[in-house]
């Protein structure tokens, strides 16, 4: 497996390239960048800053990785972008490094699909098997858990969490945490629209587990009791089920509020 570097590419002296890397026309790789085995930079990709990238990632034209964050509090600290393995990073994606006030790290896990024009701001943490559709935008300090799907043209407010296997509808403006395993409709301040049943089935959740999780969903989101009472009631019915407990713990630890269903007051 040989490395191919186009003659128009610019690679700084201190950059580290793995085996079998392809660097296409007019790409720029700066001195503090580490690029893992089998990565492909198609053309016009610029990777800067203190950026560490794993193996077998594909970067499409005009992706911009590791340039200084769009944060007025940033003062040149040597913060990082760390990207795992097997990611597809499409055209015009931007990923900014962390800041001193946010842990000095922006991290993207493994096997994610970042479609065109996705923006991942400073200090974001993106898990594995995540899909960010075209023009999805993460503000600073956002955490996206494994398997989540963010619809196109959606914007996630800073410091929020999107739970495991949650699905956010297109053109959403998310201003509160989205619980794991749940769906949201599109639009500004969207409401929950039930469980992500298809996504859960793909993860091997059976019919009995789904019925149980629906009961926990009802207790957490369709009761008029206080949050503490709802959480307590859900815990009493959780039966140590891992999916149920994960959903309950997520809701109980939310600091910015949780997206809930619309309640019909008629």
Q: Specify whether 36 is catalytic.
A: no
Rounded Cα distance between 251 and 229, Å, is 12
Question: Which two tokens mark 25?
Answer: 């026309």
Rounded Cα distance between 106 and 82, Å, is 6
The residue annotated as part of the active site, out of 30, 71, 123, 177, is: 123
The residue annotated as part of the active site, out of 54, 84, 109, 140, is: 140
The residue annotated as part of the active site, out of 50, 122, 141, 212, is: 122
Long-range contacts at 102-107 (CB < 8 A, ≥ 24 apart) = 102/140, 102/141, 104/77, 104/78, 104/79, 104/80, 105/79, 105/80, 105/81, 106/79, 106/80, 106/81, 106/82, 107/81, 107/82, 107/83
Given a contact cutoff of 8 angstroms between Cβ atoms, the answer to whether 13 and 31 are in contact is yes
Rounded Cα distance between 224 and 47, Å, is 50
Q: Are strands 50-53 and 4-5 parallel, antiparallel or unpaired?
A: unpaired
Given a contact cutoff of 8 angstroms between Cβ atoms, the answer to whether 128 and 101 are in contact is no
Q: Specify whether 122 is catalytic.
A: yes
Q: Specify whether 140 is catalytic.
A: yes
Q: How many CB atoms lie within 10 A of CB 210?
A: 16
4: closest CA among 16, 20, 18? 20
DSSP 3-state assignment of 208? helix
**Active-site residues: which are they?**
122-123, 140
């Amino acid at each position: 497996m040989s490395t191919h570097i186009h003659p128009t590419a610019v690679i700084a002296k201190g950059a580290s390239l793995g085996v079998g890397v392809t660097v296409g026309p007019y790409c720029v790789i700066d001195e503090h960048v580490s690029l893992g085995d089998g990565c492909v930079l198609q053309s016009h990709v610029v990777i800067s800053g203190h950026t560490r990238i794993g193996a077998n990632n594909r970067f499409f034209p005009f992706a911009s990785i590791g340039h200084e964050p769009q944060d007025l509090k940033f003062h040149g600290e040597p913060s990082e972008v760390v990207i795992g393995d097997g990611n597809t990073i499409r055209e015009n994606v931007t990923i900014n490094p962390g800041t001193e006030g946010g842990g000095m790290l922006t991290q993207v896990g493994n096997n994610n699909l970042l479609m065109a024009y996705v923006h991942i701001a400073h200090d974001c943490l993106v898990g594995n098997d995540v899909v960010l559709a075209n023009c999805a935008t993460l503000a600073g300090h956002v955490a996206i858990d494994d398997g989540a799907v963010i619809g196109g043209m959606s914007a996630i407010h800073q410091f929020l969490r999107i739970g495991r296997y949650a699905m956010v509808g297109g053109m959403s403006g998310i201003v509160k945490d989205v619980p794991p395993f749940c769906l949201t409709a599109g639009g500004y301040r969207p409401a929950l629209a039930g469980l992500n049943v298809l996504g859960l089935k793909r993860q091997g959740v059976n019919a009995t587990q789904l019925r149980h999780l629906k009961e926990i969903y009802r207790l957490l989101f369709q009761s008029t009791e206080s949050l503490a009472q709802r959480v307590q009631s859900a815990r009493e019915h959780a039966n140590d089920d891992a999916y149920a407990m994960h959903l309950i713990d997520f809701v109980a630890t939310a600091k910015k509020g949780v997206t809930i269903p619309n309640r019909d007051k008629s």
